[in-house]
Amino acid sequence: MTETFSPEQMLQLKEIVRSAVREEMADVGLRIDNQDHQDDLREDMRFVRRLRQMWDSAAGKLGGAILSAGIIILLAIFGLGFWDWLRGGIK
C-alpha cells in the first residue's frame, strides 16, 4: 500500500494539526493566536533558558570549588602525614 495524500488532503491535515496544537496550547495557558503572544512566549522561553544556563554555570563553579577544596585538604593531610612519617622513621 503505497498511496500518498493528495495536496488537498495535506492542506486539510495541516490545518487539523495546527488547530489541535493551538487548542492544546491554549488549554495550558499558552496563547499563540497572534504575533504579539508568540513574541512574548519566545521572550519568556529565552528568559527561562538564560536562567537555566546561569544556574548550571553557578552550580558547576560551586561544584568545582568544593571539589578543589576537598583535594587541597586531602593533599595537605597526606602531606603532613608523610612528613610526620619521615621524622618518626619507619615503624
pLDDT at 25: 86
The number of folded domains in the chain is: 2
Residues 60 and 91 in one domain: yes
Residues 29 and 64 in one domain: no
Block means of pLDDT (10 residues each) for the chain, length 91 residues? 84 94 87 85 93 94 95 90 74 54
pLDDT at 35: 87
Residues 83 and 46 in one domain: yes
Residues 84 and 49 in one domain: yes
Long-range contacts, 40-49 (Cβ 8 Å, 24+): none
Task: Give dist(CA 25, CA 34) in Å, integer.
Answer: 13
* Chain centroid offset of residue 55 CA: 9
Residues 21 and 54 in one domain: no
pLDDT at 56: 93
**DSSP code of residue 19:** H
Domain span at residue 17? 1-33
